Amino acid sequence: MQELIKNKIGLRKIILNRRQAIRERCLNCSGWIPKDVAGCEMNLCPLYPFRMKKGKQDAATRQKSIRTYCINCMNGQIGVVSKCKSSDCPLFIYRKGCVVRASYIEKGVME
């Protein structure tokens, strides 16, 4: 299923796995400049080890990093993560530790 995410020219639909979602979020953070992602100095960011989409990457560790990033984004308020309204964020569907599709939210199945 394709997700609608923010990119440098607006919104686009893309199929995202966790690895791609992290890469897209890092590109967003760096103003969509791949060279800045490679040279990122934010080594305390939970996504930092996964920013380049290569190397040894454990799926469970990736998911934990996404969850930690989302909690940090919500100022440490764990309960607010599930109420996040940033559906164009590439990490949005993975914020709860399982895949939560935006289309479910639109249909009123999820909060």
DSSP characters over 61-99: HHHHHHHHHHHHHTTT-HHHHTT---TTSTTGGGTTSS-
Q: Where are the domains of the chain?
A: 2-106
The residue behind tokens 């609608």 is 4
| pTM over the 0.85 mark | no
Length of the chain: 111
The helix/strand count (H/E) of the chain reads as: 5, 2
3-state secondary structure of 14: strand
What are the pLDDT digits (tens) for 89-109?
999 999 987 766 554 444 443
What are the pLDDT digits (tens) for 44-98?
999 999 999 877 778 899 999 999 999 999 999 999 999 999 988 999 999 987 7
